Every structure is written in C-alpha cells, then in structure tokens.
Amino acid sequence: MSDTEIVHIFRQMATAGAKVAGPLLMVMLVVGVVVSLLQTITQIQEQAVVYVVKFAAVGVLLVVMGPWMLNVLTSFITDLWALIPEQT
C-alpha cells in the first residue's frame, strides 16, 4: 500500500467523521448558546436546563438524521473492506 493510498484513506476517514459529528456538534453549540442567552435574559441560573435541552435536541437530530449518518459510516466501512482483497 503506497503513501498516497494511505493518505486517501485518512482523508475519507476525516470526511466521514466530519459528516457524522459535524451536525451533532453544531446543534449542541447553537442550542447551548441560545439557552445560555435565554438564561441570562431571564436570570435563571439552573445548569440542568442546558443539559436537558441539549440532550433533547441531539435526540431529535439523531432520530431525523440517524439513517443518513449510518449510511455514511457503512459506505465508508464498505469501501474500506473492499480495499482488502486488492492488497493480497
């Protein structure tokens, strides 16, 4: 296996990871900022509120985008397994 093939595999891995983790991280960031802003405005300083809303938002996102995320990961793994016979 050459260096370019290894770099290509790592690039595919990074792309698949960003596709899967990116939406989750963005939703958590946006929800955290919005809830923190609302807590500042209303002067409610309960930290459990942030976690409950984040968990709910991530849960909804996983229900909505879960099949797509699973498809991205399975296609990456399938492509990776397809490379094994070429190396023998």
The residue ranges of every structural domain in the chain are 23-83
Distance from C-alpha of 66 to C-alpha of 71, rounded to nearest angstrom: 9
The DSSP letter of residue 87 is G
pLDDT averaged over every residue in the chain: 91
Q: Assess whether pLDDT exceeds 70 at residue 49.
A: yes
Residue with tokens 């790592």: 10
C-beta of residue 50 within 8 angstroms of C-beta of residue 36:
yes
The answer on pLDDT for 88 being more than 80 is no
**pTM to 2 decimals?**
0.78
What is the pLDDT averaged over residues 57-84? Answer: 94
Nearest Cα neighbor of 77 from 9, 6, 4, 29 is 9
Distance, CA of 57 to CA of 25 (rounded, Å): 11
What local confidence, expressed as pLDDT, does residue 62 receive? Answer: 95
Within 10 angstroms of residue 22's Cβ, the number of other Cβ atoms is: 10
Of all residues in the chain, the percent with pLDDT exceeding 90 is 72
Mean pLDDT, to the nearest integer, of 57-75? 95
